[in-house]
Amino acid sequence: MEEIRQLRRDGLSISEIARLTGRNRRTVRKYLSSSMTRPQYRQQKPRESKLSPYVAYLDARLKQGVWNATVLLRELREQGYTGGYTILKDWLSPQREAAKTVATRRFETAPGQQAQVDWGSVGFIELPDGTRLDLSAFVMTLGYSRAMHAELCVDEQLPALLRAHEAAFQAFGGVPAEIVYDNMRTVLQGYDHRGEPRWNPVLRDFAAYWGFRPWVCQPYRPQTKGKVERGIGYLKGNFLCGREATSLEDLQAQLRAWLGQVANRRVHGTTHRWIPEAWEEEKPKLQPLGTRCPYPYVPEVTRKVATDAFVDYGTNRYSVPWQHVGHEVQVRQADERIEILHGGAVIAQHCALAGRYQVQAVPAHHQGMPYGPSGRRKGTSVLVVPAAPQVETRSLAVYDAVAEGGSLDADY
């Protein structure tokens, strides 16, 4: 450096120059003895990571939604990778951060290509008997037009999910090519050893019946389901805020009116398009409903008839003919009807109870039912009377003999 050369010309020693410039004395000597203005260092070739040959494979798996480091490590081992878990984890960390950054970009789809589905908790409903039921909102949003459909349900079980799908298909006038879900348990049963989703077999069959392809929201890519989540927030803030209703049916009717008059008649805040106009463009791209009937799904559960001739189903109790006490029966719900079967034959029917911990009995089911003794069975009573101690009877002559010096042990 020129500064070092100038200090040397000014008569300073190497030690003084090193102290003033903060350089090592050997570095100062090298500058002074060299014609170069600064020392040249040999650039070392970067050391290749054991993971480098597998980066292309990892990129492809991340695009498929496989982010689990343990799964990826197992797959790399099968391909000959000899590195450790830490190298892979350190490589994945910036990829995850980059994916979160990309997630802020808007994700648009072509007409008829995609819909998004989600549940949202929206409070509770109180029945006339004081029972409170949790209330959930099912929302499906078309990706292109942002047309939405919503249903209010008292549970998020599979029957409610399937019925809500079909109501949405009817409202939209067709079926999208694919539907995106999150990791809800009624849709996804986990992942296999390669990180591929294992679909609920009923949901998979339902999708094949209606002709759509189920997709699961990829980890670290929340933008793939952002439209429907914003729809749930819009429903809560615009429809439910301050809403009053006399019953669940009344609230459902108000929801349908709101969807038709408000939600699907607005200019969307993101696309800045009038939803009915975009919806008309999307309808011809949806798969037609045709003449298909609702998906034939009637779930059955096995229950054992209790000694009082009732079975438990959905927190409620329903009567069964008493002759089936102790037998295993199948219970299923079809619409608002509860059916109880034994050996394939229907042995009892009830209207489904809306509340919880209620009992519905048909008097004929218990007619002629033999009732056993109630209460605890008493043990056999045994009277124990202690006998009086037996006293040996002796002649008075014995005691006279003792008085004269004899013994009681003598044999008289």
Along the 412 residues of the chain, how does pLDDT read in single tens digits?
Answer: 677 777 777 777 888 878 777 788 888 888 777 654 555 556 666 677 888 888 888 888 887 667 788 878 888 888 888 888 888 888 888 888 777 665 544 567 889 999 999 898 888 887 777 778 889 999 999 999 999 999 999 888 888 999 999 999 999 999 999 999 988 888 888 877 777 788 888 899 999 999 999 988 765 454 455 555 577 888 888 888 777 888 888 899 999 999 999 999 999 888 889 999 999 999 999 999 988 889 888 777 889 999 999 999 988 999 999 999 999 999 988 768 899 999 888 999 999 888 788 999 999 999 988 876 555 555 555 655 566 566 566 666 655 665 666 555 555 4
* 321 to 152, 168, 349, 368, 401: CA distances (angstroms): 35, 40, 11, 10, 88
**Residues linked to residue 191 through DSSP beta bridges, in sequence order:** 197
Q: Is the Cβ–Cβ distance between 160 and 153 less than 8 Å? A: yes
Q: What is the DSSP string of 355-407?
A: SSS-EE--HHHHTT---PPPSPPPPPP----PPPPP-----HHHHHHHHTT--
Q: Is the Cβ–Cβ distance between 176 and 140 less than 8 Å? A: no
Q: How many helices (H) and strands (E) does the chain have?
A: 13, 14
Hey, what amino acid is at 11? Answer: G
pTM for the whole structure = 0.56
- Listed residue (327, 296, 301) closest to 313, CA to CA: 301
